[in-house]
Amino acid sequence: MELLRFFLILKSVENKDEPKENVFGIILSVIILSMVGISLFFFGSERESDGGNFFTDLRDKFQDWLEQSKCDALRRELLALVQHQQDVADRLIDGAKAEYPGNTERWYLEKVIYDLKRDRV
């Protein structure tokens, strides 16, 4: 009810000097299209099929990209901490992997960065 009242107020506030546009229709269209897009994303991601579907694949690719970008940022931070010596950074990561097997790449990067910062204090 409040949303409808908001749209009616918004429609009545139109500027008289500008060309009349159907602001209410535009806003309603944007809301409906957003709801359709969101529902397609969630309903598409819940369906299980043998080959996967477009929305599940898209979500997985986005999550992989997001994780990779976080790892890239952590790797740059680690390289800055070791004065851009790639071999030192790789050796520290390999040591953490040997000591704590079975974790993600991001976890190893965070662990090495944490240990370096802790030891420098």
At residue 104, what are phi and psi to the nearest 5 degrees?
Answer: -80, 165
Residue 64, C-beta contacts closer than 8 angstroms, at least 6 positions apart: none
Residue 27: predicted pLDDT: 82
pLDDT single digits (tens) 19-51: 555 677 778 788 888 887 777 776 655 555 556
| The two structure tokens encoding residue 54 | 């477009």
Residue 109: predicted pLDDT: 96
3-state secondary structure of 41: helix
Residue 67: predicted pLDDT: 92
Residue 115: predicted pLDDT: 95
In this predicted model, which residue has the larger pLDDT, 9 or 69? 69
pLDDT single digits (tens) 39-98: 777 665 555 555 668 888 889 999 999 999 999 999 999 999 999 999 999 999 999 999
